[in-house]
Amino acid sequence: MAKAIMLQGTGSDVGKTVLVAGLCRAAKKRGLKVRPFKPQNMSNNAAVADIPGDNNAAGGEIGRAQWLQAIACGVAPTVHMNPVLLKPQTDIGSQVVVQGKVFGEARARDYQAMKGRLMDAVLESWAKVGEGADLVIVEGAGSPAEINLRSRDIANMGFATRANVPVVLVGDIDRGGVIASVAGTHLILPEKDRRMIAGYLINKFRGDVSLFDDGIKAIEKFTGWRCFGVVPWLKAAARLPSEDSVVLERLVSGERRALKVAVPMLGRIANFDDLDPLKAEPQVEVVFVPPGQRLPEDAGLVVIPGSKSTIGDLLKFRENGWDRDLLAHRKRGGHVVGICGGFQMLGRVVRDPDGIEGSVTETEGLGLLDFETVMEPEKIVRNSSARSVQFDLPLEGYEIHLGRTTGPDMARPSAVINGADDGAVSSDGKVMGTYLHGLFSADAFRAKFLESLGVKGGGIDYRAEVERALDEVAAELETHLDCDAIFGLAR
């Protein structure tokens, strides 16, 4: 079994995902065979990964963060890198994905009772991830200080103690109160868990780091833990795919550019990293529009992203008045793209006769394209090779969706995926829908698509840009952290 270390946070959104990705890349550059692992993740931003040993499966689901971390390691992602994925469908319930496949649905309280069985899957995947590796870097979830959930924990100390993995605690100074959050974690952890923590690091520091010298002394006084370093605000991290929709709340507006792209922030938004390649374009401004705000009238393109709850988000879309904004956008000659759940919303009706997504079994669509979608139990999960029909250019991406879409406008497909027609395009070519996630990552297609909107693409190699950003994050961590000591903890 490979040696391992684990990063746990004093809370959610402290930057664990980027730090693990950066440490994975740093270890790779040192010549180590390194792998990422996250026992339990909660996200509707999923990726398609290999299912080792299952020749009949096209692929399974993992969190998009573990996909990125695998890229940082220079290896293909597998479902064992994130054995338990929770995909929220309502405020109190989630779809549970185990080792890449749908295991069932559970309300929050029911899921706690389910965890005992899930730990077996976590430990099985843990053993498989370590095969042939020198080092595994593990990412926790939320905070180990949630002691009310400790007895059935599989994500933080429950896993670390079972697998005997040393822990580095991550504190986020940007949100304030970092001394209290680190010292408070030490205070309330039981002694058995406290012994697993070898030290801590401070993340997202802005300004003169020497100003925190007294803070390090204070934390040492309260905890006895050593500090492995203070990481500055990592500008390169903004060029990496984001998994947490919390990030979108900070991206409501941006610098004025040639093309404004408006993206409604759906309640169950999924795979919003589809927009990252557009955000990287120098002439494109991507604006995420929160509930309660109008879609901007000066947007040239509206992108309706994926959704984990198509009918529920479609109803909220109307409540926000975005349906009226969208029709006005169309009358002004604006373009619209719908991806996956967003594509389904563009049709005449969405039906869910079996109540797969919830209690509402049918709702009227936005009516921009002439088709209907019926939700079906079988879930499509696969990486896909495709070709744009409109521009006759290659596409690569992935599909994760329920539902079968049929109707007259499907006779004008937007793409051919794995040899089959996909999606639809309006008669004037200004409304396009597809089930293909990742289409904007194809550089030639993105440039041609933007050209059709009157904008010159920046000639960006998006995948190379992600690789460069990972290298820059790794370099920053090597500079500001005692990586020798952190890697030396592994056992």
- State the Cα–Cα distance between residues 328 and 337, nearest whole angstrom: 15
Active site residue 480: no
Map tokens 């020749």 to a residue.
Answer: 55
The region, left, alpha or beta by phi > 0 then psi within -120 to 50, assigned to residue 140 is beta
Contacts of 193 (CB under 8 A, 6+ apart): 144, 150, 157, 160, 161
Active site residue 483: no
Residue 151: helix, strand or coil by DSSP?
A: helix
C-alpha 274, offset from chain centre: 10
User: Cα separations (Å) of 187 from 107, 141, 146, 147, 246?
Assistant: 31, 19, 12, 11, 28
Q: Facing residues of 465 across strands?
A: none
Position 182, amino acid: V
DSSP-derived pairing of the beta strands 269-270 and 362-364: unpaired
> Which one of the listed residues 80, 335, 401, 437 is annotated catalytic?
437
HSE of 198, CA atoms in CB hemisphere, 13 A: 20
Q: And the tokens for 79?
A: 């479902």
DSSP-derived pairing of the beta strands 167-172 and 135-139: unpaired
Q: What is the DSSP letter of 144?
A: T
- Is 42 buried (19+), middle (13-18) or exposed (0-12) by CB count in 10 A? middle
Contacts of 278 (CB under 8 A, 6+ apart): 261, 284, 286, 303, 440, 446
What length is written for the chain? 491
> Which one of the listed residues 340, 401, 480, 483 is annotated catalytic?
340
Cα–Cα nearest to 400, from 41, 98, 49, 76: 49
Residue 203: helix, strand or coil by DSSP?
A: strand
Our CA dihedral for 238, 385, 303, 306, rounded to 10 degrees, sits at -80
Q: What is the DSSP letter of 133?
A: -
Q: And the tokens for 338?
A: 């719908």
Residues marked active site are found at: 340, 437
